[in-house]
Chain A
Amino acid sequence: MAQPLERQQAKPHLAEEWVGKVYTLLCIAFLILTIFSLVYFVASKGLSTFFVNGVNVIDLLTGLKWAPEGEPRLFGALPFIFGSFSTSLLAAAIAAPLGFCASVFMVEIAPKFGRQYLQPVIELLAGIPSVVYGFVGLSVIVPFFRDVFPGQGVGIAAGAVVLSIMILPTITTIATDALAALPKGLKEGSYALGATRWQTIYRIVLPTTLPALMTGIVLGIARAFGEALAVQMVIGNAPHIPRSLFESASTLTSAITLSMGNTAMGTVANNALWSLALILMLMTFVFVFIVRWLERRSKI
């Protein structure tokens, strides 16, 4: 009696097992294939600037003048590299204290109100399309900077402010999770020894969660580094290292988006843009490695 019943049940379950296995396997194979072909494609295009068109790598990384369609052709990408690093680091410098304080408030000071109302609002920032950020930046921040500070309004400062709002959710969410995951005993021990709430936050909570907070910052920088559209709209895009924070500058991403559609595939001007993309990709790998390293350290 029992046997046929078992058999009936086992069949569909084993089938499910196999279907699931094959399906997930295909998915992962597809993902790996995509990643590898992407890396291969960008690398082959980006490297052909050096091997096919004979541009010197050192010239590209340290040159100050960018004129891929000029006479003579010049491929100095240092202004873009400088622009990318300065905007994303400055953005992190603005967003990190804000994010930390917000998460301390949400976890330690007003957990109920914070987690119920504040966190969804901050997470909402992550869902706003970057073109909206760019347009708000161009319509509000750029005119404001133009009126208040000497200069044109566009530039690294405007780009950094726009980016800092964009990366705020990343930093805040990771910091909030880290603070919430802190073992209760640590804080209670500190209170038991007579420490005040601020002493506990400064001396116990922040130092113990520091690696996780750093992870949040690095992820934020990585996000800022790769953001193209919003930055391109407010930074001015002159291929020069600016003399002030309020002077037109350029990033790797803005240089690529500005010219990619206008250059013909296979020309040296187009390949040079792929080289910029390769630099971007390598930087992303570096950021991922830093995050991995921090995560290993953050295990308490």
Chain B
Amino acid sequence: MPAFYNMNCQEKNKELEGELYEMKKTVMMLMVLALTVVLAACGQNNNSGGASPSPESSAPESSAPASESPAAELSGSLLATGSSALLPLVEQASKKFMDIHKGVSIQVQAGGSGTGLTQVSEGQSDIGNSDVFAEEKLDAAKAAELVDHQVAVVGMAAVVNPNVSVDSLTKQQLVDIFTGKVTNWKDLGGEDQKIQIINRPSSSGTRATFETYALGQKSEDLQGSIQEDSSGTVRKLVGETPGAIGYLALSYLDESIKVLKYDGVEATVENVANGTYPVWAYEHMYTKGEPSELAKAFLDFMLTDEIQNNDVVELGYIPANKMEIKRDVNGTITK
């Protein structure tokens, strides 16, 4: 048998080689085809994610009636990336928006304010969510291309371990603590207890807000200070560590920690809204250039009473339309 097989082998091989060659070609073709499809899909995603006119502009004839009955006409997809502090709100609002407009798909991704600003500036996403003004993260030329949409306000408060007896700190006292000049609570009217700072990383938007509006200067990364990025971890550590001080967004406050007054003013929504409590920041949703029709519809939706009075309040932010004062990137306040 083996000899018989060998004899016919070459002959057979020749025949088969032809067929095999064909098959190899087919396989390669398939692979190339698959690759092309994948690449094309990626390309398309990028396009729709880009600042260039989004999908809905490809149907210009529908844009005229759209103003009369927008609910029926909107379609396409949006990608919003960035701030994890803003993520819950945008996600919840996008779900409501998609319930109304069935043809729309909105994706919301976290990743940090820096990532959100970079991606919207480079056209990888349609909306960049950020806790800070774009000018603070990007260089001036890139920041100038972005259009700011302030959808909510978030207040921040200094918090301490419940066993700390101090109730209120002045701006100067906070500066002294966060620059390491005062290291014991007894110097601030409390017990003889070492102060344990729970800070944020120097790149954090929350820290930038706290430094700018509560301290009025940069704080130091002191030896022995703890740094955490997640608000949940900060709250846990402040609640557990004796003599700890940190700062949290108002939505994270609970009984496990003690909230300090700032210069005697309580950190409440009312005090932020009327301008007596200064430690707060806007939550921004940036678009590159003027927003596309779909993005504009979504951003307008974010500012409707339905979202502002329900979801925004429910998730612990302060509605943007409730603010009696306005603040620009340089910190100038106008009524």
Give the interface of A toward B (CB within 8 A).
2-3, 6-7, 10-11, 14-15, 18-19, 22, 26, 66-71, 138, 143, 146, 152-154, 233, 236-240, 242-243, 247-248, 250, 258-267, 269-270
Contact = CB atoms under 8 A, between A and B. Distances in A.
Given A67-B202, A70-B218, A262 B241 contact: no
Nearest to A247: B224
B16 interface: yes
12 contacts: A7-B12, A22-B27, A138-B236, A238-B225, A240-B223, A243-B223, A262-B114, A263-B112, A263-B137, A264-B121, A266-B118, A267-B137
Given A18-B20, A71-B218, A143-B240, A237 B12 contact: no
Contacts of A260: 112
Interface of B: 4-5, 8, 12, 16, 19-20, 23-24, 27-28, 31, 84, 110-115, 117-118, 121-122, 137-139, 196, 201-205, 218, 221-229, 233, 236-237, 240-241
A67 B228 CA distance: 16
Nearest to A134: B233
Contacts of B202: 67-70, 259
A258 B31 CA distance: 40
Contacts of B27: 18-19, 22
A239 B199 CA distance: 12
A152 B202 CA distance: 21
B83 to A, nearest CB: 9
Contact of A264 (B138, B223, B227, B241): B138
| A66, A152, A243 — most chain B CB neighbours (10 Å) | A152
Contacts of A14: 16, 20
B20 A258 contact: no
B221 A261 contact: no
Contacts of B118: 264-266
A139 B66 CA distance: 54
A66 B225 CA distance: 14
Most buried by B among A7, A236, A264, A266: A264
A153 B124 CA distance: 42
